[in-house]
Amino acid sequence: MRKVLVLVCGVALLAVAGVAAAKTVTVTITANGYVPNATMIAVGDTVQFTNSDKVAHQVSFKKTTGVSCTPTPLVLQPAQSGSCTFGSAGTFSYSDPNVKGNKFHGTITVTGSVPGGGSITLTVKPQIVIYGGNATLSGALSNHKAGENAEILAQPCGQPSAAKVATVTTTTGGVYSAQVQPLKNTIYTVKVKNSTSNAVSVKVRPRLRLGKVAPHRYSLRVFAAQSFAGKAASFQRYSAALRRWVVVRRVVLRANTSGVAPTVISSVTFRSSVRARLRVRAVLGQTQVGSCYLAGRSNIIYS
């Protein structure tokens, strides 16, 4: 009887420990969006949304399997809070369907445990690449198990959910590594069975190539996975006296049919009377590239 009681007490303690291990993370809804807009939790954890704005906001998940929210739908008046508990691992994107633009968008990455105990780590280098460049994802299983299949999941900017792009196998010590070539700003996670790593982000700059085709005549080509036709690039010269780049003129990009999918080329040929032997470059600013790219800078040439 004593052994039975000990066993029952042990099971009860484990159950209590499991409940105690669950935690609650707060996401604040402000006039400028969610703070933070990217959250990482574990299976069984809860995210509490608190509306600190002066108007009502709704939190709507694109994928609802494994998500339990109160109230439902999750519409929060000013100063009101609601919560969602996550019962499965994965990346969950959410937004306010009543607000236009990209301001009210967020993600919650829910991690699980690696079979046999432990967790998955994920790092990326570099965190910023120029279009066409590679980044290296690497990490390890904390249980050091080799021979596990690790799925690389990618969620490019503008896509509603992540998709598998590669599978690698863990080696000695549970280590894995993979090269990726993002076409736009992309969020990556790694999944082993039902467990998901933390999320990492790789930012992408469009590739700009500036050339001189004749005296006072230049060409600019922009390579990306989308067209920038109609966008304005800044042609600049370096001023040694001012020790900074000075805008000479702005040029509007046009569509170019020479790109091979998924690459889209936007280009322009233009004239400039800037005097010879000055360092010049072209810049495509953040307002021109939008939210799926970082601002781009061309190579530097002499006028």
Checking if the pLDDT of 303 tops 60, the result is: yes
Across the range 20-37, mean pLDDT stands at: 86
Strands 135-140, 123-125: pairing is antiparallel
CB 259 within 8 A of CB 228: no
Residue 137, number of CB atoms within 10 A of its CB: 24
Is residue 8's pLDDT more than 70? no
* Residues 6 or more apart whose Cβ sits within 8 Å of residue 2: none
**pLDDT at res. 255:** 96
- Report which DSSP code applies to 141: B
8 Å CB contact between 149 and 192: yes
Residue 90 CB neighbours (<10 A): 22
> Which amino acid type is present at position 86?
F
Q: Is residue 279 scored above 60 in pLDDT?
A: yes
User: Where residue 18 falls among pLDDT bands split at 50, 70, 90?
Assistant: very low
* C-beta pairs of 156-161 under 8 Å, 24+ apart in sequence: 156/182, 156/183, 156/184, 156/185, 156/186, 156/292, 157/184, 157/185, 157/186, 157/291, 157/292, 157/293, 158/184, 158/292, 160/62, 160/93, 161/62, 161/63, 161/91, 161/93
* pLDDT tens track for 69-103: 999 999 999 999 999 998 877 789 999 999 988 88
Q: What is the pLDDT of residue 116?
A: 59
Helices vs. strands in the chain: H and E counts, helices first:
2, 28
Domains in the chain (CATH in brackets) are 24-111 (2.60.40.420), 123-204 (2.60.40.10), 206-302 (2.60.40.10)
CB 68 within 8 A of CB 46: no
Using alpha carbons, list the distances in angstroms from residue 79 to 164, 246, 297: 39, 47, 44
pLDDT at 118 over 90: no
- pLDDT for 220-274, tens place per residue? 999 999 999 999 999 999 999 999 999 999 999 999 999 999 999 999 999 999 9
Residue type, 142: S
The pLDDT, as a whole number, for residue 44 is 80
* pLDDT for position 114: 62
Is the pLDDT at 11 greater than 50? The verdict is no
Q: Model's pTM, two decimal places?
A: 0.67
DSSP β-bridge partners for residue 235: 249, 282
